[in-house]
Structure 1
């Protein structure tokens, strides 16, 4: 991925010098993909206290250290890469929304270490990258990329870009009102049905990431041979079935909150091939991919 020399986003805040308050160590020690089941799987795999992992989901975990002024132009290569990818999502989605006569309010991206306060509760490194709808911010501890590469077998810069594009996909869902509708519906259904709703939400974010990849490549031509395969491999490695097999050797489909590896790959590819958000209606029960 030829990202050097591309525009970097002004919407990145590097707070690694200010986060703290008893947070977890970084360096690839934890992973979360957003749901309670996956949070527990992550704790089993990487030896993280599950109560600490779940602290983000319920808004608990105690107060984190108050933030101090952030560095808005991070200089280390990993942070610059994240900033460059975020900038491209801004360009792609701003142009996409403009074609429909709408403005695109871009999300902020916070680079933190260990633990950091968010409008969704205390963010923990063990959760991996996540999007908080309440403050419209993406949060990432860059140690997650060590986890992705060394523990999950998903190396490569475009694998890392896919992760960011997926979280920005959640931002799109928030802007479209999909997140609020799903949250309202979850309280009226069983846990199994709520899990199925979460799967559809996550698969749509994967599809949105694929659409971004298509439009980004059209605009910049910055992808190189093997880049798409890196993203598809990452989608495979973080599928619910793959994570469950790795954690305990068995698979429980009704507990899935993000979708199987085949589903995640299928929906990313659908977005990649279509280059249009209209191809990403995962909530239509007749739709299937993977």
Structure 2
């Protein structure tokens, strides 16, 4: 008897999308209700097309297959990153933020939504080159435990490192990016001295609260996937996590819409959306 052919679909309705959000929240504890619906729908459809699943089949496999849910989570949470991404951002940190951070006795940095660790390690290199590594500690967090596993290893393909090298150069840093790695055949491992001041852990920006006090928080290319209500909720977590005169760094693709927080954060760099908490 021939196997059944799985049906496919090119679209799902808003009620179906909401049904999926409820299912994921009830079974897996992840709440995507405040993700922008257009972005969430686009990514769900991509999963359905890649896996050749109809909507009812998607619900079934999400209910019964934990491994598939991990793949689903990988796709929904958008793990696109690179070292020294947007070099102008790192230039701005180097010239406008680090001189101020240097006045603190200890510097704690939170890289939120860090994916596979490229940004926390970029920040670690930046602190090292500024002579601040000995008094700095970087926390990298993400919702995706599998990505964090890669981050903890600190091993990246040599091909990727070579592509990141141009970012490093444009950021205006000395030497080359490979100076900070041990080359192993077709891979490169982050130097242990950079790993020593870096800790990776799971943190859900949607549901988890403040876990430390920081002198700087970076969260780039994350807000754009959330609606304004969730953005405000996460801004509250960031604001309460910053020490007085600490820095919130969102990057050029993000913006703060909330008038409440606009009044409580001083603009340091409008292009890169870098803000300082008013004391």
Instruction: Give the helix-richer structure, 1 or 2.
Output: 1
TM-score normalised to the size of structure 1?
A: 0.25
Pick the structure with greater CA Rg. 2
